[in-house]
Structure 1
Amino acid sequence: MLKFSQSCVLILSALSFLLNLPILVLITGLALALSAIAPAASPFRFIYRQLVVRAGWLKPRMVEDDPAPHRFAQGVGATFLLAASIVLFLTSATTLGWVLTIIVFILAAINVFVGFCAGCFVYYYLGRWGLMPRVRYEGGFRWRGI
């Protein structure tokens, strides 16, 4: 589901830039914000479960993991895209808006193709510095692979 969500962000942010459609930046940012705040209401989750899995296009691969770092990463992506939307709609600094969108696109691409979540990485380091909670796992708490 996380890879599907990141793939959606990747595709939507690419289309928004290539087709010069700032409204797609806003829609993607809102979808990511909703996913971070209320994961059960995530539009990506709904599409994944109700369409993609039911149609048999993808099969879920369950991985035990703490969702907090992923929600944090979604929140950061949402913040960048919503800031980009504000810049694109309300200012003449469109280059800045597209740069913020491209940053999200690049980080989503790295996550999809390499498996490295930059937002999760930041979350883990903030946890090491005592600014975020530690990451859960079955045997208690530990720091994730850093």
Structure 2
Amino acid sequence: MVAVPRVDAHMLKFSQSCVLVLTALSFLFNLPILVLISGLALALSAILPAASPFRLIYRQVIVRAGLLKPRMVEDDPAPHRFAQGVGATFLLAASILFFLTSATLAGWILTIIVFVLAAINVFVGFCAGCFVYYYLGRWGLMPRVRYDGGFRWRGV
């Protein structure tokens, strides 16, 4: 029997909501440090999911307080980690532009791209990074996954 990978759908939404809020606040209050914090949190989430700051807050605060319950679904976590890595790359590149260059407009453009894609994920349920991962798999550039017809991904 092959074990089917599972992910906590509520944790994924919580993580995306955190990115959405942090990037919105960074833009509204002109706080590029929040972009850096978001980028580092996403990078850690992509590289070491068990050490994700969003996951730790979700499990230790949100779930323990009874605000959300885990909702485990059959899904491949790899596309989600890829999406987090892409978001981290954009936000860390924006941070470099903010703190090491005078190209702040380019930094805000990268930040707004992450904000918009996180908003689409939170409100519509479409993960653009997962979509890219899927097509890269079809082209042989990433491990192949099968799209299940909804907005979730499953390993083949």
TM-score class normalised by the smaller sequence: over 0.9
What code does the residue aligned with 1:18 have? L
Give me the whole-angstrom Cα distance separating, in 1, the residues matched to 2:148 and 2:104.
38
Of 99, 106, 130, 2:140 maps to 130
Structure 1's unaligned 5+ residue stretches are 136-142
Q: Superposition pairs for residues 131-146 of structure 1, below 5 Å?
A: 131-135=141-145, 143-145=146-148
| Residue identity matched to 2:131 | F
**What's the TM-score once normalised by structure 2's chain length?**
0.87
Q: Deviations over 1:51-101 (max 9, x none)?
A: 000001111111110000000000000000000000011111110000000
One-letter amino acid of the counterpart of residue 98, structure 2: L
What does residue 57 of structure 2 align with?
47
Q: Give, in angstroms, the shift of residue 145 of structure 1.
A: 3.8
Q: For residue 2 of structure 1, what is the aligned residue in structure 2?
A: 12
Q: Tell me the equivalent position of 1:139.
A: none
> Which of 32, 39, 51 does residue 29 from structure 1 map onto?
39
**Match of 2:20, as an amino acid?**
L
Structure 2 counterpart of 1:114, one-letter code: V
Runs of 4+ in 1 over 6 A off after TM superposition: none
Instruction: Name the counterpart of 1:94.
Output: 104
Correspondence for 2:23 among 4, 9, 13:
13
Aligned partners of 1:98 and 1:145: how far apart in 2? Answer: 34
* Gap runs ≥5 in structure 2: 1-10, 150-156
Structure 1 residue aligned with 2:4: none
1:121 aligns with 2:131: yes
Q: Does residue 59 in structure 1 map to residue 62 in structure 2?
A: no
SS at match of 1:131: coil
**TM-score, normalization by structure 1:** 0.93
Matched-pair identity in %? 86
3-state SS of 1:60 partner:
coil
Write the distance in 1 (CA, Å) between the matches of 2:26 and 2:73: 31
Secondary structure of the residue aligned to 1:63 is strand
